[in-house]
Amino acid sequence: MRGGQTTPGVASSAVPTLVPRVVETYPHDRRAFTQGLVLRDGVLYESTGLVGQSSLRIVNPRTGQVVRQVQVAAPYFAEGLADVGPRLLQLTWQHGLAFVYDRQTLARTGEFSYTGEGWGLCYSGRALFMSDGSATLTERDPQTFAVRRAIRVVQDGAPVERLNELECVGGDVYANVWTTDTIVKIEAATGRVTARIDATGLLGPMDRLGVDVLNGIAHDPADGTFLITGKLWPRLFRVRFEPRR
């Protein structure tokens, strides 16, 4: 089961450590087992997981209100999400299918198949990047989903395992490291980690009751901030990644 918080985080290293400075805090549906976030033109798209509870949603990011939702029926466990123009692509964990939706209506319009597990997905404007829980990202063609290349992600020469939810920003990929409060910033061309973000302590003690791991990153190009949350979290945070003071 994709949950729990028992394994250690990424080891200390020479790469800079950043922290999220909270700009605003919004409500988030704490029933949402968040697997993927996409923000486009002020609209938040969210993929949620668990068999029988998976969904694709359009959400008002400031109120947490679900504006539109489609269910992903069992036996599928929905995972990462990316937008490619007018389409949304949603991964499934262990069924080797990526569902294609119309971004405006959430009507399903097709699917792609792939080998292995699906975890995180993001679109850079020219390529899709996909994670499978390992230390390898797969670059894929956005039109055919065909594999272009594999990218080994390393921090100070050591592989960074358990890469999960992804967000593409320019030539970088931001990735949640599953079961930790760490996000790594990856140079997409090389796989080299250039910064790590320590998101420990975003939730207060009461808010942490019943929640699962940090997961969900969406970049807002309007002001350079990020929206981050977690599985079953009651809050969505607008943050800037800054050096630790």
Beta bridge partners of 201: none
pLDDT of residue 7: 36
Percentage of the chain modeled with pLDDT above 90: 89
- The 10s digit of each residue's pLDDT in 13-46 is 689 999 999 999 999 999 999 999 999 999 999 9
Read off the tokens for 34: 């968040």
Cβ–Cβ under 8 Å, residues 133 and 119: yes
pLDDT above 60: residue 2? no
Domains of the chain: 17-243 (2.130.10.10)
Q: Express each pLDDT in 52-108 by its tens digit.
A: 999 999 999 999 999 999 999 999 999 999 999 999 999 999 999 999 999 999 999
Buried b / exposed e over 38-58, threshold 16 CB at 10 Å, is: bbeeeebbbbbbbeeebbbbb
Rounded mean pLDDT, 153-165: 96
How far apart, in whole angstroms, are the C-alpha atoms of residue 76 and residue 85? 25
Q: What pLDDT is attached to residue 245?
A: 78
Burial of 94 per CB tally in 10 Å (0-12, 13-18, 19+):
middle
Question: What pLDDT shows up at residue 1?
Answer: 42
**pLDDT confidence of residue 195:** 96
Find, among 58, 82, 95, 57, the residue nearest to 143 by Cα.
Answer: 82
